[in-house]
A and B are shown apart, each in its own frame.
Chain A
Amino acid sequence: MENIIICRCSDLSLKDIRDLIEDGYTTVEEIKRISRAGMGSCQGRTCSQLIMREIAKITGKNISEQKDSVTRPPTIGIKLKTIADGSEDND
């Protein structure tokens, strides 16, 4: 389980996630904040689904009954200077 990576951005293994759920962090939002899972460059696109599956397995709460973490802008990483330089005639 230590060798199965769940969150690539923050380098968290399946064991890390299962240990957190066993410790009582049983929602995606709580796991995200305590471990940084889903806070990296991909913003949880892969790991949040996997974490919800693990929560379902351990707590018995189905994925459909769980709340996913809040999706926040921007949709994709963008350089600050690209935004700062942007203007209406910049096509």
Chain B
Amino acid sequence: MIKAADVVIIGGGIIGCSIAYNLAKKGVKNIAVIEKDYLASGATGRCGAGVRQQWGTEMNCRLAMESIKFYENANEELKYDGDIEFKQGGYLIVSSTDKEYEQFSKNVKLQKSLGIDVEQISPQEAKEIVPYLNADIITSATFCPKDGHLNPFLATDAYAKAARRLGANIYTYTKVIGIKTSDSKITGVITDKGEIATNIVVNAAGGFSKIIGDMVSIDLPVYSERHQILVTEPVEPTQKPMVMSFSLNIYCQQTPHGSFIMGRGDDTEPRDLRRTSSWQFLDEMSKTVTKLLPPLGNLRVIRQWGGLYNITPDKQPILGSVKELDGFYVAIGFSGHGFMLAPITGLLLAENILGEKTTIDISMLDKDRFNRGELVLEPSVV
């Protein structure tokens, strides 16, 4: 392990790897990424793998648009020896209540004003896109053909390999156990494999980001909550878009190898770090999916798992420097959509750390917006 680094990034998910790649690309030489398990072992590898531009806040729309633009050319940009399997089959988001119908009209208006290719359509039109959709239980839908999905393990692998090629050091199975400070400045990171002297630490620890904040006595306004997913046996390609509903609490996508994956959250989940599987999820998901997409009832579930959403009060991430501690940066609180925002996040953090003007103004995404009461609530989260 190296003895000193210009930047230490805590967390080897796609956010940490994207930040490492962007810093290395800008010429930073001594970068260390510290991951307590294997790469993508946390929220990245447990996510639903979808990427969408259909958001309810301008900031989330803009972050997502930039990220999707990157994913379209990521194999070339990262010179990946594999394929991140990016497919743009669209997102079909259905409304099932009048209130939701109105929210969708507002969302679509905002999205269109930003240049996103999206339409609000009738239940019948939605059925033309996914013929076995139960149109009787929906009031409308929105569809953006440029939304899609990609493989989280391979996307992280692509970033990690590119970062390593540019000189970054990535340490897996290495746990951060402390952060050294002196006069409100970062001076080093202590791991179970040794110490690294550094003046800059990036907290990209996803579901565990609050633990890292606690190490430097900074109370980060985030909490973690379990969300669950199941996957079925693989079958022939039948469904191109992700089908999603906030009110029915489901998202469901067929992956390139043929399996369907589907996930949902639960408002009554305790705020803790459990990632175990529950039978309640399996029961609720089976009922929801057979109601919305009836033929999928014939598919066998082969595996289920849990992962952590790291949630902020307004469901938008916290990005950039933290004023109480010189050299401490965060890229946390993605509220369930960190995977899809990773490309732009890596760029913005690299720019912020190097003191450059950021591609998108992130001053409203600082941690102190909650103290100032400047929340912009994202309404569209499963």
Contact = CB atoms under 8 A, between A and B. Distances in A.
Contacts of B231: 39
B287 A72 contact: no
Given A30-B38, A34-B154, A78 B300 contact: yes
A79 B298 contact: yes
A29 B41 contact: yes
Contact of B298 (A29, A43, A81, A83): A81
A77 B40 contact: no
Interface in B272-294: 277, 279, 282-283, 285-287, 289-290
Contacts of A83: 282-283, 286, 301
A72 B300 contact: no
A27 interface: yes
Contacts of B234: 40
A62 interface: no
A39 B37 CA distance: 19
A73 interface: yes
Per CB-CB distance, the 6 closest pairs between chain A and chain B, nearest first, are: A81-B297, A77-B300, A83-B286, A84-B286, A33-B153, A84-B290
A10 to B, nearest CB: 8
Nearest to A30: B38
Interface size class, chain B: 20 to 34
B250 to A, nearest CB: 12
Interface string B38-64: 111100010000000000000000000
A78 B301 contact: yes
Contact of B299 (A27, A73, A80): A80
A29 B302 CA distance: 17
Contacts of A30: 38-39
A80 B305 contact: no
Contacts of B26: none
B300 A73 contact: no
A86 B45 CA distance: 31
Contacts of B352: none
Contacts of A60: none
Interface majority SS (helix, strand, loop, mixed), chain A: loop
A77 B285 CA distance: 15
Given A29-B41, A72-B277, A77 B290 contact: no
Interface size class, chain A: 20 to 34
B38 A29 contact: yes
Given A83-B282, A84-B287, A77 B301 contact: yes
A72 B303 contact: yes
Contacts of A78: 300-301
Contacts of B299: 79-80
Contacts of B283: 83-84, 86
Contacts of A84: 283, 286-287, 289-290, 297
Nearest to B288: A84
Contacts of B289: 80, 84
A78 B298 CA distance: 9
B302 A80 contact: no
A41 interface: yes
A75 B75 CA distance: 36
B277 A73 contact: yes
A40 B302 contact: yes
Nearest to A9: B234
Contacts of A41: 233, 300, 302
Contact of B40 (A33, A36, A43, A72): A33
A39 B300 contact: no
Nearest to B303: A72
Contact of B286 (A34, A73, A81): A81
Contact of B304 (A73, A79, A81): A73
Nearest to A36: B257
A29 B279 CA distance: 24
Interface string A13-30: 000000000000001011
20 contacts: A10-B257, A29-B37, A29-B38, A33-B153, A34-B153, A34-B157, A39-B231, A72-B304, A74-B302, A74-B304, A79-B297, A79-B301, A80-B285, A80-B289, A80-B296, A83-B282, A83-B301, A84-B283, A84-B287, A84-B290
A36 B45 CA distance: 12
Interface string A53-91: 000000000000000000011100111110110100000
